[in-house]
């Protein structure tokens, strides 16, 4: 179980132990802590890799100022901003950026940005000089809640997302939540802010997020429901508490199952449908804007996918009740995250079904899903994988018949 290291006025901190890696996650006003952490570290220099949006927002300067105070030599590189540049064809540009500053194995690489930067810089850290140390500094709730924790890094290919990758645990995660205030203005808010809360509601839907050191017995879903207004109004205290619960939930899962042989698959709750639907919507958007700059908000794909998976849970009798399904739906709706299929996707069951059947987790073309036993708990389907090999923390997938999948599809129109 993750350890809660601190709950101070300025920040919360937890420690996660994944495989051989043990690392802290700091959440809140963390810049002074960053200075201290880097100042006391073994590294001779620090390089920050970020994108042009973070430069414009002033966050690169803020972080470089904090690093200067550490007394370590520092440098930075700027990558192109946007999901479309997380493709293998831009890998050499990423490497050129680090080559330029003579980065060596005593340099700490900092990924300052959202999920795209975390994945790109994480992959560079995993591969450059056969691996340099990585510090994740997420600047969106999406990367703070999810991708900065657990070590998944990678790039896309023409065939799909994250097809090249590695598991690269960071040496620390510094989540400076005041940065999130700069996401107030749409459209950035929609991509970076709401998507983080879509994953957060998913976390609360799969785990109660309780911890003996937390100082409260309130389940995360109950806390979230009561404090949605705080998220909508960018209340720092509420954001921080949600991020602490996210770190507890995700940290506990990856501690048990780093390589996704068992319970880590539960983090993909809602994503089998969500990814297929997102791919479909992005294809439509690409036809409209061939530059690839307009993408379907990941949070909306998660909201629709989670609602779909909740319907499957109900239809399959996994335990989730209709009133729990409605509660989850209501939380997404109050956050203005989509849960229903838009018009252009309503007659597309066959197409989305074929995407889902091609998913790497499908068995003989039959898509597999994770279901909810109740709001805050997933349905465990076994102790081992179907081939008898170990499923760390249990097995959670189950194949679902085509007619049930179609029925659930009708329910989310
Ligand atoms: N985002 C899901 C995972 O890290 O496993």
Top mutation candidate among 25, 152, 166 for ligand 1, by most atoms within 8 Å of CB: 152
What is residue 184's predicted lDDT score, i.e. its pLDDT? 83
Bridge partners of residue 122, in order along the sequence: none
How far, CA to CA in Å, does 211 sit from each of 45, 240, 255, 378? 36, 16, 15, 18
pLDDT of 137-148, one tens digit each? Answer: 999 999 999 999
pLDDT of 241-299, one tens digit each? Answer: 999 999 999 999 999 999 999 999 999 999 999 999 998 999 999 899 888 778 898 89
How far, CA to CA in Å, does 316 sit from each of 53, 310, 328, 394, 405? 44, 10, 18, 20, 10
For residue 16, how far is its CA from the centre of ligand 1 (angstroms)?
15
Top mutation candidate among 114, 161, 247, 250 for ligand 1, by most atoms within 8 Å of CB: 250
For residue 10, how far is its CA from the centre of ligand 1 (angstroms)?
28
For residue 37, how far is its CA from the centre of ligand 1 (angstroms)?
26
* Average of per-residue pLDDT across 28-50: 97
Residue 231 tokens read as: 């998220």
* Among protein residues, the one whose CA lies closest to atom 3 of ligand 1: 267
Residue 200: partners with Cβ closer than 8 Å, 6 or more residues away: 141, 145, 224, 242, 245, 246
* The ligand 1 atom nearest the CA atom of 150: 4
**Lining residues, ligand 1, CB within 6 Å:** 146, 150, 152, 264, 267
* Per-residue H/E/C for 74-124: EEEEEECCCHHHCEHHHHHHHHHHHHCCCCCCCEEEEEEECHHHHHHHHHH
For residue 267, how far is its CA from the centre of ligand 1 (angstroms)?
6
In which band, very low, low, confident or very high, does the pLDDT at 189 lie, cut at 50, 70 and 90? low
How far, CA to CA in Å, does 242 sit from each of 189, 195, 340? 17, 14, 25
DSSP string, 140-205: SHHIIIIITSS-EEEEEETTEEEEEEEE---SEEEEEGGGGGGG-STTHIIIIIIHHHHHHHHHHH
Compute the distance between CA of residue 111 and CA of residue 103 in angstroms, rounded to an integer.
Answer: 14
Phi, psi values for residue 138, rounded to 5°:
-70, 140
Confidence (pTM):
0.96
Instruction: Reduce the DSSP state of residue 66 to 3 states and report it.
Output: helix
What is residue 48's predicted lDDT score, i.e. its pLDDT? 98
Compute the distance between CA of residue 111 and CA of residue 8 in angstroms, rounded to an integer.
Answer: 25
* Average of per-residue pLDDT across 84-94: 95
Higher-scoring residue by pLDDT: 84, 262: 262
What is residue 159's predicted lDDT score, i.e. its pLDDT? 80
pLDDT of 46-59, one tens digit each? Answer: 999 999 999 999 99
In which band, very low, low, confident or very high, does the pLDDT at 160 lie, cut at 50, 70 and 90? confident
CB 197, CB 141: distance < 8 Å:
yes
Confidence check: pLDDT of 161 > 90: no
Q: Buried b vs exposed e over 339-349: b needs ≥16 C-beta within 10 Å?
A: bbbeeebeebb
For residue 318, how far is its CA from the centre of ligand 1 (angstroms)?
23
In which band, very low, low, confident or very high, does the pLDDT at 188 lie, cut at 50, 70 and 90? low
Compute the distance between CA of residue 298 and CA of residue 229 in angstroms, rounded to an integer.
Answer: 21
Higher-scoring residue by pLDDT: 105, 208: 208
Residue 213: partners with Cβ closer than 8 Å, 6 or more residues away: 3, 4
For residue 248, how far is its CA from the centre of ligand 1 (angstroms)?
14
* The ligand 1 atom nearest the CA atom of 264: 5
Bridge partners of residue 6, in order along the sequence: 13
* Among protein residues, the one whose CA lies closest to atom 2 of ligand 1: 267
Confidence check: pLDDT of 187 > 80: no
CB 45, CB 73: distance < 8 Å:
yes
In which band, very low, low, confident or very high, does the pLDDT at 102 lie, cut at 50, 70 and 90? confident
In which band, very low, low, confident or very high, does the pLDDT at 362 lie, cut at 50, 70 and 90? confident
DSSP string, 221-286: HHHHHHTHHHHHTT-HHHHHHHHHHHHHHHHHHHHH-TTSSSGGGGGGTTHHHHHHHHHHHHHHHH
For residue 152, how far is its CA from the centre of ligand 1 (angstroms)?
7
Average pLDDT taken over every residue of the chain: 94
Eight-class DSSP state of 379: P
User: pLDDT above 70 covers what percent of the chain?
Assistant: 98
How far, CA to CA in Å, does 345 sit from each of 160, 235, 292, 354, 369? 20, 35, 19, 14, 20
Compute the distance between CA of residue 230 and CA of residue 314 in angstroms, rounded to an integer.
Answer: 30
Confidence check: pLDDT of 101 > 80: yes
In which band, very low, low, confident or very high, does the pLDDT at 95 lie, cut at 50, 70 and 90? very high
Top mutation candidate among 150, 195, 256, 397 for ligand 1, by most atoms within 8 Å of CB: 150
- Taking phi over 0 as left and psi of -120 to 50 as alpha, with beta for the rest, 71 belongs to left
* Average of per-residue pLDDT across 72-90: 94
For residue 156, how far is its CA from the centre of ligand 1 (angstroms)?
16
């Amino acid at each position: 179980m993750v350890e809660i290291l601190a709950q101070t006025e300025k920040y919360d901190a937890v420690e996660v132990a994944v495989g051989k890696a043990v690392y802290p996650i700091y959440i809140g006003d963390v810049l002074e802590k960053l200075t201290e952490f880097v100042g006391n570290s073994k590294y001779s220099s620090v390089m920050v890799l970020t994108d042009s949006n973070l430069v414009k927002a002033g966050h690169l300067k803020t972080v470089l100022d904090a690093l200067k105070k550490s007394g370590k030599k520092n440098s930075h590189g700027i990558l192109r901003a946007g999901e479309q540049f997380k493709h293998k064809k831009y890998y050499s540009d990423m490497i050129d950026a680090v080559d330029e500053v003579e980065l060596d194995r005593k340099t700490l690489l900092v990924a300052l940005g959202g999920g795209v930067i975390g994945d790109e810089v994480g992959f560079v850290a995993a591969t450059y000089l056969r691996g340099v140390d990585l510090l994740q500094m997420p600047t969106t709730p999406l990367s703070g809640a999810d991708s900065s924790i657990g070590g998944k890094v990678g790039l896309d290919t023409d065939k799909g997302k994250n097809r090249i990758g590695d598991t690269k645990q960071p040496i620390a995660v510094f989540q400076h939540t005041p940065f999130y205030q700069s996401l107030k203005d749409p459209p950035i808010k929609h991509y970076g802010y709401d998507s983080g809360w879509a994953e957060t509601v998913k976390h609360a839907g799969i785990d109660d997020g309780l911890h003996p050191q937390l100082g409260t017995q309130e389940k995360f879903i109950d806390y979230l429901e009561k404090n949605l207004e705080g998220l909508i109004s960018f209340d720092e205290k509420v954001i921080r508490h949600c991020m602490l619960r996210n770190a507890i939930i995700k940290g506990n899962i990856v501690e048990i199952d780093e390589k996704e042989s068992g319970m880590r698959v539960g983090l993909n709750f809602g994503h089998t449908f969500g990814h297929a639907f997102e791919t479909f919507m992005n294809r439509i958007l690409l036809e409209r804007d061939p530059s690839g700059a307009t993408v379907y908000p990941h949070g909306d794909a998660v909201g629709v996918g989670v609602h779909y998976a909740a319907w499957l849970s109900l239809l399959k009798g996994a335990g989730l009740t209709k009133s729990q399904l409605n509660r989850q739906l209501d939380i997404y709706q109050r956050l203005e995250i989509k849960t229903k299929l838009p018009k252009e996707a309503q007659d597309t069951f066959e197409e989305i079904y074929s995407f889902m059947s091609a998913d790497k987790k499908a068995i003989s073309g039959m898509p597999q899903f994770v279901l909810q036993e109740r709001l805050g708990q997933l349905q465990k389907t076994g102790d081992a994988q179907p081939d008898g090999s170990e499923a760390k923390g249990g097995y959670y997938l189950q194949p679902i018949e085509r007619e049930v999948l179609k029925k659930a599809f009708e329910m989310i129109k």
